Amino acid sequence: MDIKALLRDAKSQLRESGISEVDAEHLLAHVLALSRMDLHNSVLLESTLKALSDTDVIEEQFFTLLDRRINHEPLQYLTGRAAFRYLEIEVGPGVLVPRPESELLVDAVLTHIMNLPAPVSVIDLGAGSGALALAIATESPDTRVIAVENSPEAILWLKKNVSVIAENVRVVEGDVADVLPGIKCDVVIANPPYIPDTQPLPRDVASFEPHAALFGGPTGMEIPKIFITAAARLLKSAGVLVIEHAQEQGAAIERELALDFDNISLHDDLVGRPRWTSAVRR
């Protein structure tokens, strides 16, 4: 099997489809059970190829995945994994792919946790794959984390990731509007659906990722308001809410938070866009 020729052909097809050429390396590494950087280690690559009983099967698997990627199926769905901070999160149809833009939000929550007396309690509303909850649970292991999700499809991925990464995270299936009655916590993190219903999305997202986890109502604010109300109910006095939102929604989020929260601050994501807000429960 001529790896260079294989990748050259695949990258050409991806480039013509407007997709990053590096995805070819990710896909080939996946079918060979290697890391992407291992493809550039000639000794390791040669030994891997020698150990294969049928390279034709590998090529067939690779080009099948390549065709699906050219059809704009998310790369993470094809490999079954998404990198998030120090973790590899399992993902697939029915759950959102974790975005690196959320990583600074986790940083801020971890910094806040360090300044609180242990044990700190954190509730993740709309946990999806569990990326945020699991990052906090693994990087601050004394924290008590509850991950809340209402989608049966997403719950499957959430439970799978919790079982592999941090079994001490408690998974709760339910609607944020009435979940965990009587429970109070120190921190709520929330990633609600916030995209306006009529807003166009990139083909990868629109065609494959779950719409219920993306669209937040006619203005995009209808579901975030429900999450904010839930956070106000769940937080102790002086507890902190950290909520993700679209870059245009900062002012609308602030107006909604002002009903029950003080110290409202808008924060930028990794690429400098206003993407999440923190606030302190009165």
What mean pLDDT do residues 183-203 have?
A: 97
> For residue 80, which phi and psi values (nearest 5 degrees)?
80, 5
Of the listed ranges 100-104, 115-119, 200-204, 224-228, the one predicted with least confidence: 100-104
Q: Measured between alpha carbons, how far is 90 from 157 in angstroms, rounded to an integer?
A: 7
Residues 106 and 132: beta-carbon distance below 8 Å: yes
Indicate the range of 139-143, 231-235, 252-256, 268-272 predicted with least confidence: 268-272
- Residue spans per domain, the chain: 3-71, 95-281
What confidence category does residue 174 fall into, taking pLDDT thresholds of 50, 70 and 90? very high
Separation CA 109–CA 282 (nearest Å):
18
Q: Which of 101-105, 210-214, 235-239 has the lowest mean pLDDT?
A: 101-105
Checking if the pLDDT of 1 tops 80, the result is: no
Nearest one of 64, 5, 53 to 31, comparing CA atoms: 64
Burial of 154 (C-beta count, 10 Å sphere; 0-12/13-18/19+): buried
Q: Residue 239: what pLDDT? A: 98
Phi, psi angle pair for 145, to nearest 5°: -115, 130
Q: What is the pLDDT of residue 55?
A: 80
Dihedral angle of Cα 163, 169, 175, 176, to the nearest 10 degrees:
-150
The confidence score (pLDDT) of residue 54 equals 77
Fold of 95-281: Rossmann fold (3.40.50)
Q: Tokens for 101?
A: 């833009």
- For 138-153, what is the mean pLDDT? 97
pLDDT at 40: 85
Q: What is the pLDDT of residues 15-54, one digit of tens each?
A: 999 999 999 999 999 999 999 999 888 888 888 888 887 7
54 or 221: which carries more pLDDT confidence?
221
| pLDDT over 90 percentage in the chain | 87
Tokens coding 180? 């965990």
Q: What is the mean pLDDT of the chain?
A: 95
pTM surpassing 0.85? yes
